[in-house]
Amino acid sequence: MSAPVLQVRDLQVRLSSPRGVVQAVRGVSFDVEAGHTHGIVGESGSGKTTLLRAILGLLPGNATAGGAISVSGRPVPLAGGRSKAVEGVSIVFQEPMTALNPVVKVGRQISEAPRHRLGLGRRAARDRALELMRQVGIPDPARRFDSYPHELSGGLSQRVLIAIALSAEPKIILCDEPTTALDVTVQDQILKLFSRISEETGVAIVYVTHDLAVVAQTCRTVSVMYAGQFLESGTIEAVFGQSRHPYTLGLLGAVPDVSRGRTPLVAIPGSPPDLVNPGEGCPFVPRCSYARDECSHGVFSLRSVNHHQSTACIRSDALAGAS
């Protein structure tokens, strides 16, 4: 076990809005070690993107944050401002087409960080960019160097974004639904590329998505996020194989799978809570079939049930063997 490159401790983020204060992230803690890929699954509005922005030190102006984040031991300033810690973090966004500058050649966009952050000369930065393009599997890098983003397909643009993410020699790459906008065959190629990169460079990857199957195939560990909290965390095999939280179980039963025939799908009733006033107790109570009176009071945080997983459910014993 090496020391974690990313440590998040009891992170709280509140965003002020015209409707009141939105409690977007409510006490999230986790570690990611070098070379590991950690998945975070959650539905829209569960706080995944706000969590990523906090790790990047890019919380919006209306946010107030508590808790601590550190990258390679250096604290990330939650109130904004420059820090060496944030320089070790890169991000790959969902929409490759909108994340690239349309009027700048892709080669220049890739060599920007090597030139300005790593201080390489023009020639050296170009060589570095070409090498990165080769590393992410862009065919004929010398020709593509002078392409504009609109000349590239979705899959190639996503490879360019990954090259940019790698260009500043990061310790951590954050991925915010990086393949949701791509076709399945291209998604498959990009997922394999991520596994190869983490093996070759030892970079840690935090992979955020709503797609359970994608997480199952790319990550070693996973956290299930709901209403700004982690409800369950652990290895893929444990969380998806022997889940100890009703929400995870609900999700697993609600999504069709290509390898499964017509096992009936069971929808989770109700909808996620409003985070302006989430109330006390477990956030999943109104939709949970295992809920008891004691679930509506107190604070629910992750506690470990075995070596491989931890859950926020106090009735997890009742769930053992349910999946």
Partner 1 sequence: MTGGPILEARGLSKAFSSRRSVGDVILRRPAEELQALQDVSFLVGRGESLGIVGESGCGKSTLARCLVGLYPPTAGQTVYEGKEFEQKRSFSDRKKIQIVFQDPYSSLNARMTIGQALREVLRVHKVVASGRVSSRAVELLALVGLDADIANVYPRQLSGGQRQRVNIARALAVEPEVLIADEPVSALDVSIQATVLNLLASLRERLGLTLILIAHDLSVVRYLCDRVAVMYMGRIVEIASTEELFEDPRHPYTQALLAAAPSLERKSRDDARSIGGDPPSPFDLPSGCPFHPRCPVASDHCTTVRPPLEEGPGDSLHQAACHYAWAPPAPHHTPLTRGEENLR
Contact range with partner 1 by CB under 8 A, out of 6-14, 15-23, 124-132, 188-196:
188-196
Q: Which phi and psi angles does 97 have, rounded to 5°?
A: -70, -35
- Give CA–CA dist 10/235, Å, rounded: 21
CB of 157: closest distance to partner 1 in angstroms? 11
CB of 232: closest distance to partner 1 in angstroms? 15
Q: Given the complex with partner 1, which of 268 and 305 has the nearer CB atom?
A: 268
Interface residue with partner 1, options 33, 127, 211, 274 (CB under 8 A): 211
Q: According to the binding rule CB under 8 A, does residue 56 interact with partner 1?
A: no
Q: According to the binding rule CB under 8 A, does residue 252 interact with partner 1?
A: yes
The neighbour count for residue 210, using CB atoms within 10 Å, is: 17
CB of 31: closest distance to partner 1 in angstroms? 25
- Give CA–CA dist 200/189, Å, rounded: 16
CB of 216: closest distance to partner 1 in angstroms? 5
Q: Given the complex with partner 1, which of 116 and 196 has the nearer CB atom?
A: 196
Q: Where are the alpha helices (DSSP H) in 202-267?
A: 212-218, 236-241, 246-254
Q: According to the binding rule CB under 8 A, does residue 310 interact with partner 1?
A: no
Q: According to the binding rule CB under 8 A, does residue 276 interact with partner 1?
A: no
Contact range with partner 1 by CB under 8 A, out of 56-64, 111-119, 121-129, 204-212:
204-212
Evaluate whether 76 touches 28 at the Cβ level (below 8 Å): no
**Which residue type does 108 have?**
R
CB of 91: closest distance to partner 1 in angstroms? 22
- Give CA–CA dist 213/246, Å, rounded: 18
Count of chain residues binding partner 1 (CB under 8 A): 44
Q: According to the binding rule CB under 8 A, does residue 259 interact with partner 1?
A: yes
- Give CA–CA dist 231/316, Å, rounded: 11
Evaluate whether 104 touches 145 at the Cβ level (below 8 Å): no
Nearest to 182 by CA among 198, 193, 168: 193
CB of 59: closest distance to partner 1 in angstroms? 24
Q: According to the binding rule CB under 8 A, does residue 185 interact with partner 1?
A: yes
CB of 142: closest distance to partner 1 in angstroms? 14
CB of 44: closest distance to partner 1 in angstroms? 6
Query: What size, in residues, is the chain?
Result: 323
Q: According to the binding rule CB under 8 A, does residue 39 interact with partner 1?
A: no
Evaluate whether 94 touches 158 at the Cβ level (below 8 Å): no
Whole-number CA gyration radius for the chain: 21
Q: Give the pairing of strands 204-209 and 37-41.
A: parallel
Nearest to 128 by CA among 138, 137, 118: 118
Q: According to the binding rule CB under 8 A, does residue 153 interact with partner 1?
A: yes
Interface residue with partner 1, options 240, 282, 285, 309 (CB under 8 A): 240
Q: According to the binding rule CB under 8 A, does residue 257 interact with partner 1?
A: yes
Q: Is 94 helix (H, G, I), strand (E, B) or coil?
A: coil
Q: According to the binding rule CB under 8 A, does residue 183 interact with partner 1?
A: yes
- Applying the rule CB under 8 A, the residues between 79 and 138 that interact with partner 1 are 137
209 forms bridges with which residues in the sheet? 41
Nearest to 39 by CA among 232, 187, 170: 232
Interface residue with partner 1, options 216, 235, 308, 315 (CB under 8 A): 216
Footprint on this chain of partner 1 (rule: CB under 8 A): 43-44, 137, 139, 153-156, 183-189, 191-192, 210-214, 216-217, 240, 250-262, 264-268, 271
